[in-house]
Chain A
Amino acid sequence: MGNDGLIHREESGKLRVIDVNKTFTGGRQNLAVLANVNIEINKGDFVCILGPSGCGKTTLLRCIAGLEKPDSGEILLGPNSVRGPGPDRIVVFQDFDQLLPWKTVKENVAFPLKVNQKASRDKIRETVNRNLTLVGLDEFENYYPHQLSGGMKQRAAIARALAANPEVLLMDEPFASVDSQTRTSLQNELIRIWEKFQPTIVFITHNIEEAVILGSRIAVMSSRPGTIRKVVTNGLPRPRTVITAGFSEIWNELHNLLVNN
């Protein structure tokens, strides 16, 4: 790539996954998980990655986060190659236990700001308050994580991720383990946050409905070893529900892509 003699100015903030391969070598056999994954995500885009469970979605996200190293290929954020984890790409995990149990909700949200020492005390206070209000946890700021419900923990994790002010928000099925009512309100909050701050979001899900509700574009993955089969553009007007006109057409298209693997 890039051998045509021209120097391209990378579009700023664009996330590019180029020919990424990943095989886990555990025990006696090797497991090919990602095979030539390619995808480009523009700054401010909300992309869902949809695929059957076990197809390598989490592995792909962890490669982008720098928590896992691809065997070959490259991941670029803007002009920079991803070499390891960093606060420009914050992950919201599926696991409720991602909050640090020895810190209150408030301290968890303030943690990325304190670590990176970019802000004054007042500024930290202000950002924490704003983010907690945004996810509706302002009354729980002094609670410890073990005192929160699963949905509240995920809200706090989102508030913490936003506090790091990342270029890309990487979300690995963060709402998969909450009840459906809570999931709907979390989805709505996430859209509001995205519309307000326009971070790039890569949102992983195995749930077609969730992908249609959330994504501006939806990348469908094949079963293992995962590749991107197709990227479907989703121009449905927001806010979306299952009865929004056009919902079922996109749902069917995605369903067919998943089934005809």
Chain B
Amino acid sequence: MKNKFINRVIFIIVLSVLWEGTVRSGFFPKAERLFPSLVDIFGALAEVTLSGELFGLMGYSLYLICIGLLIGLVLALVLSILAISSQTLASFVDTAVTIMHPLPGIALLPLAILWFGIGREPIVFIIVHAILWPMILNILAGFRSIPALYREVGQNIGLSGPRLAISIMVPAAFPYLLAGFKIGWARAWRALIAAEMIFGTSGTQGGLGWFIYQQRYFINISGVFAALIVIMVIGILIEDILFGFIERKTVKRWGMTA
């Protein structure tokens, strides 16, 4: 853990030095237009941070992603529980996943606009689409991996139906659920930024994706890079710190691995 952290810091320092060296060497003419110096990038970052604009952008993006993740998770759980309780529903869900999983969210944009107009709803729709299908695949794989013994222990003490599913199946499949949720998060984050660039432009409120789009429009390349850094940092924080924490509190503590 400590080692991993130190390695990362060293890697980032080396990368920054190379970047700054390339920009300052004047090796590429007009480089500062396309590859701004770190000083400019962090200047832009400081500006949006100090003005408070950054928190509005982050808050908006994280708000949308939380809604999308919540809806996606609940739908994925409900559909997966239905799929394991009936053979007919299983083939229905299976078909839906097979058809929808390979479909890129961006391909659904025209439909999302027709159905929801422009604003938050189509973005949430794209996020839900991005995470629902891979999460169903993971949850079902998790349910199917549960040893018969756990189910029998549950039935033996008097559980059946939805109570059995919630008390036994969900925790027994938890390593898979968590893995599915991690994939869901990563896909949602990508889908969000992409969708915001298209939908976020009309309203008064916008998120990080919309900000990138806006900065490009004003040819403020430092601002684009500043937003990219924020997006990367949030991704790393959630994946390493939040999911790392959840893993330590659950599957690692229980001695369960997928």
Instruction: Tell me the minimal C-beta distance from A30 to chain B in angstroms.
Output: 22
A80 at the interface (CB under 8 A from B): no
In the complex, A111 Cα to B157 Cα: how many Å? Answer: 8
Tell me whether A67 and B155 are in contact in the complex, defined as CB-CB below 8 angstroms, given that A102-B174, A144-B254 are known contacts: yes
B156 touches A101 (CB 8 A): no
B255 touches A115 (CB 8 A): no
B158 at the interface (CB under 8 A from A): yes
Most buried by A among B149, B155, B156, B168: B156
A102 touches B147 (CB 8 A): no
A221 at the interface (CB under 8 A from B): no
A145 at the interface (CB under 8 A from B): yes
How many inter-chain residue pairs (CB < 8 Å) link A and B? Answer: 59
B19 at the interface (CB under 8 A from A): no
* CB nearest neighbor in B for A144: B254
A90 at the interface (CB under 8 A from B): yes
A146 at the interface (CB under 8 A from B): yes
Instruction: Tell me the minimal C-beta distance from A201 to chain B in angstroms.
Output: 16
A65 at the interface (CB under 8 A from B): yes
Q: How many residues of B contact A (CB 8 A)?
A: 21
**Contact partner of A102 among B155, B157, B254, CB < 8 A?**
B254
A85 touches B156 (CB 8 A): yes
User: Which residues A75-130 have CB closer than 8 A to chain B?
Assistant: 84-87, 89-91, 93, 95, 97-98, 100-102, 111-112, 115-116
Contacts of B157 in A (CB 8 A): 87, 90, 111-112, 115-116, 164
**Contact partner of B159 among A98, A102, A115, CB < 8 A?**
A115
A102 touches B171 (CB 8 A): yes
B167 at the interface (CB under 8 A from A): yes
A146 touches B158 (CB 8 A): no
B255 touches A95 (CB 8 A): no
A97 touches B147 (CB 8 A): yes
**Contact partner of A100 among B163, B171, B250, CB < 8 A?**
B171
**Contact partner of B156 among A67, A100, A144, CB < 8 A?**
A67
Tell me whether A100 and B150 are in contact in the complex, defined as CB-CB below 8 angstroms, given that A112-B157, A144-B253 are known contacts: yes
Instruction: Tell me the minimal C-beta distance from A20 to chain B in angstroms.
Output: 19
B258 at the interface (CB under 8 A from A): no
In the complex, A26 Cα to B147 Cα: how many Å? Answer: 20
Most buried by B among A65, A95, A100, A145: A100
B250 touches A102 (CB 8 A): yes
Contacts of A65 in B (CB 8 A): 156
In the complex, A116 Cα to B255 Cα: how many Å? Answer: 27
Contact with A along B219-258 (1 / 0, CB 8 A): 0000000000000000000000000000000100111100
B153 at the interface (CB under 8 A from A): yes
**Contact partner of B254 among A84, A91, A112, A146, CB < 8 A?**
A146
In the complex, A98 Cα to B168 Cα: how many Å? Answer: 12
Tell me whether A115 and B158 are in contact in the complex, defined as CB-CB below 8 angstroms, given that A100-B168, A102-B254, A147-B255 are known contacts: yes
Contact with A along B1-41 (1 / 0, CB 8 A): 00000000000000000000000000000000000000000
B152 touches A146 (CB 8 A): no
Tell me whether A91 and B250 are in contact in the complex, defined as CB-CB below 8 angstroms, given that A100-B171, A101-B256, A145-B255 are known contacts: no
Contacts of B253 in A (CB 8 A): 144
B255 touches A87 (CB 8 A): no
B158 touches A87 (CB 8 A): yes
User: Which residues A133-147 have CB closer than 8 A to chain B?
Assistant: 144-147
**Contact partner of B152 among A67, A87, A112, CB < 8 A?**
A67
Instruction: Tell me the minimal C-beta distance from A248 to chain B in angstroms.
Output: 37
Contacts of A147 in B (CB 8 A): 255
B167 touches A144 (CB 8 A): no
* CB nearest neighbor in B for A85: B155
In the complex, A87 Cα to B168 Cα: how many Å? Answer: 16
Instruction: Tell me the minimal C-beta distance from B246 to chain A in angstroms.
Output: 13
A87 touches B156 (CB 8 A): yes
Contacts of A145 in B (CB 8 A): 255
Contact with B along A179-223 (1 / 0, CB 8 A): 000000000000000000000000000000000000000000000
Chain B interface residues toward A at CB < 8 A? 147, 149-150, 152-153, 155-159, 163, 167-168, 171-172, 174, 250, 253-256
**What are 6 A-B pairs with beta-carbon distances under 8 A?**
A67-B155, A86-B158, A102-B256, A111-B157, A115-B167, A116-B158
